[in-house]
Structure 1
Amino acid sequence: MTPNDIHVESARIQKGIEDHLGIDGSLIFDYSQEGTTIKLNLITVNPRHNQSFLFHTEHGTDKLDALKKMFEYVKNYRERDSSYTIQWVSKEKEGQRELQTSYFRARNMYEALDKLYFGRELNSITVYSVVMNPSA
């Protein structure tokens, strides 16, 4: 595959992920090198309160491999992970101490909290409740 083909394929897969999630323009594909593998953090940005959260992390042999694995996860995550509702308040913005509600898919409560706190200091958010939602 030529570099141009890789870029075109990457763009196609990223668009597929956005379409499948129904999140247009509010996703960040964050790549980093971890030893001999590429780590892809898929981050969502909530336009209502302008906060970003980790959606999922995948590892691959290269960026395209990690992206393909992410797309496979996105296609099946509702069947694999439980749904959680977390109510929280940000301590970062003075005067904006409004209770926020965010929803996460995770294997357990701790993973849901890790997704909430991703890229933040632990004391930057106060969590008021974590509830596992009933499965339909």
Structure 2
Amino acid sequence: MVEALSEMHVEAARIQQEIQDHLGLRSADIVFEFSTLDGKVKLDLITINPKHNQAFLLHSETGSDKVDVLKKMLRYVQDYKEKENSYTIQWVAKGETELNTSYFRASNIMDALQKLYYGRDMNTITVFSVVLNPIS
């Protein structure tokens, strides 16, 4: 039992590293947030932009356990650029004057905005534009 649990942790760590490497992010710029919902494991993959120190949702997945949900997330990051649209969002944080530009992959504009607002009060960010980027 303990050995199987240890193997699961090693496998989970390996997959997390593979996701991080695939995205080209430093460990300080990515957060794997696990929670349990209705007996399933939910993973919110959060990225932190070092320029303006804001955290945004990259993607959420659910699975039967930690390794299962990490495998699903790895598959997502390996092919999300081919499956989802690219959006550019220009925004300003409340109390600041600098216009920030962030890029999101999402299936539609509402999903892109949900990723921007993830984990924060909607009144803390003013959105100036959301643009669907041309397909390259």
> Quick check: 1:27 aligned with 2:39?
no
Unaligned stretches of 5+ residues in structure 1: none
How far off its partner does 1:34 sit? 0.4
> Quick check: 1:52 aligned with 2:52?
no
* SS of 2:98 mapped into structure 1: coil
Q: Deviations over 1:34-72 (max 9, x none)?
A: 001111000000111000000000000011111110000
Q: Give the structure with the larger helix fraction.
A: 2
> Quick check: 1:38 aligned with 2:44?
no
State how many pairs are aligned: 133
Q: Structure 1 CA distance, aligned partners of 2:58 and 2:128?
A: 21
Aligned to 1:65: 68
Return structure 1 stretches of 4+ with deviation > 2 angstroms.
none
- Counterpart AA for 2:97: R
With structure 2 as the length reference, what TM-score do the two structures score?
Answer: 0.95
Q: CA RMSD in A?
A: 0.9
Q: Structure 2 CA distance, aligned partners of 1:97 and 1:27?
A: 26
Q: Structure 1 CA distance, aligned partners of 2:51 and 2:123?
A: 22
Q: Structure 1 CA distance, aligned partners of 2:9 and 2:66?
A: 10
With structure 1 as the length reference, what TM-score do the two structures score?
Answer: 0.95
Q: Structure 1 CA distance, aligned partners of 2:111 and 2:60?
A: 11
Percent identity of equivalent pairs? 55
Unaligned stretches of 5+ residues in structure 2: none
Aligned to 2:13: 11
